[in-house]
Amino acid sequence: MRQIEVDKIIKPILSSDGAGVKLKRSIGVEPNYYDPFLMLDEFGSENKDDYIGGFPPHPHRGIETVTYMLHGEFEHEDSTGSKGRMKAGDVQWMKTGSGIIHSEMPAMTGGKLQGFQLWINMPAKLKMSKPNYIYINSKEMNVHKDKDKLVKTIAGKFEKAEGPVKGHNIDPIYFDVKLKKDGEFAFKMPSNHNSFIYLVNGEIKIGDKEHEIVKDSTLILLSKGENLKVKGILNSKFLLISGKPINEQIARGGPFVMNTKSEILQAVNDYHNGNFVK
């Protein structure tokens, strides 16, 4: 079985979105699209001015948005009638399908806010499906723990710990891994998936080949293979995310991702004409 190695190491760029929320963006810039992943943002600050504006109501079509909170709280509300308060450790997995309008606003006026938003593409056959909102309480997530590591499973299975997201078309893996210094994380990956690690903090070594030092807020694209091995150079925390490519042409238009430009124009027209939410 092939050993998985580092394919590319990318430092995120500083950006902002919503009403001025400061963030670090990697997928969506470099690379622009890592099939099936369209965007990855890390948002976080202890300065309320960096996040207090939040993400006021805005539309989406044709994608899934996965928000994972590490610190702080967000309030979610959308056009399906779903609403709730996300706390540290919780996940919201939203399938926007034919169209959804939602907002994510900080439920705090100070303190540390940190989390991630991942955009996942939807195949053409699902892009106009009925929107669906899934809220996953951190208490519902299974965790594997041993002397080297703690693995929280949002999607996929590590040892006996299986994530609550199942039956998904891209067979996703989404792990939050805390790895001790000199500890080792080993996992058998699907050989046809596109996979990456996002190092949140610490320093790690991936695979057997030498690679440049990776420390703190770094995107690491992985080669295809089956055997993944990660060693903790320091106490570290990282996300391991993987999914089966969709292999379809995409067209982007801000919050809309479809297969053709004409479908993007239709989404814009539907939104401005009040026909967006079915």
The pTM assigned to this predicted structure is 0.96
Residue for token digits 């809309």? 256
Find out whether 68 and 115 touch, Cβ atoms under 8 Å. yes
**Cα Rg of the chain (Å, integer):** 18
Neighbours of 204 (CB within 10 A): 23
Across the strands, what pairs with 22?
A: 16
Task: Give the residue-averaged pLDDT of 164-183.
Answer: 97
Size of the chain, expressed as the number of residues it contains: 278
Angle, CA 189 vertex, CA 185 and CA 194 arms, to 5°: 115
Q: How does DSSP classify residue 61? A: B
Residue 272 phi/psi, 5-degree rounding, is -75, -25
Question: Distance (Å, rounded) from C-alpha 48 to C-alpha 153?
Answer: 30
DSSP string computed for 226-276: SEEEEEESSSEEEEEEEE-------EEETTEEESSHHHHHHHHHHHHTT-S
CA torsion through residues 135, 17, 63, 151, sign:
negative
Q: Is 230 exposed, middle or buried (0-12, 13-18, 19+ CB in 10 A)?
A: buried
Question: Distance (Å, rounded) from C-alpha 263 to C-alpha 270?
Answer: 10
The domain 6-272 is placed in CATH, from the list 2.60.210.10, 2.60.120.10, 3.40.50.720, 3.10.150.10, at: 2.60.120.10
Q: What is the torsion angle, in degrees rounded to the nearest 10, for the CA atoms of residue 151, residue 156, residue 158 and residue 160?
A: 110
Q: How does DSSP classify residue 18? A: T
Confidence of residue 72 (pLDDT cuts 50, 70, 90): very high
Of 263, 264, 255, 267, give the one whose Cα is nearest residue 65. 255
Tell me the per-residue pLDDT of 120-155, one tens digit each, with 9 for 90 and over: 999 999 999 999 999 999 988 999 999 999 999 999
Find out whether 104 and 76 touch, Cβ atoms under 8 Å. yes
Tell me the per-residue pLDDT of 215-228, one tens digit each, with 9 for 90 and over: 999 999 999 999 99
Structure tokens at 18: 């919503």
The type of residue at 47 is N
pLDDT of residue 180: 98
pLDDT of residue 82: 87
Neighbours of 140 (CB within 10 A): 12
Question: Distance (Å, rounded) from C-alpha 7 to C-alpha 122?
Answer: 25
Neighbours of 192 (CB within 10 A): 9
What are the residue ranges spanned by the domains of the chain?
Answer: 6-272
Residue 50: pLDDT above 80?
Answer: yes
The separation between CA 125 and the C-alpha centre of its own chain, rounded to angstroms, equals 22
Structure tokens at 114: 């940190």
pLDDT of residue 30: 86
Residues of the chain with pLDDT > 70, as a percent, come to 100
Tell me the per-residue pLDDT of 232-265, one tens digit each, with 9 for 90 and over: 999 999 999 999 999 999 999 999 999 999 999 9
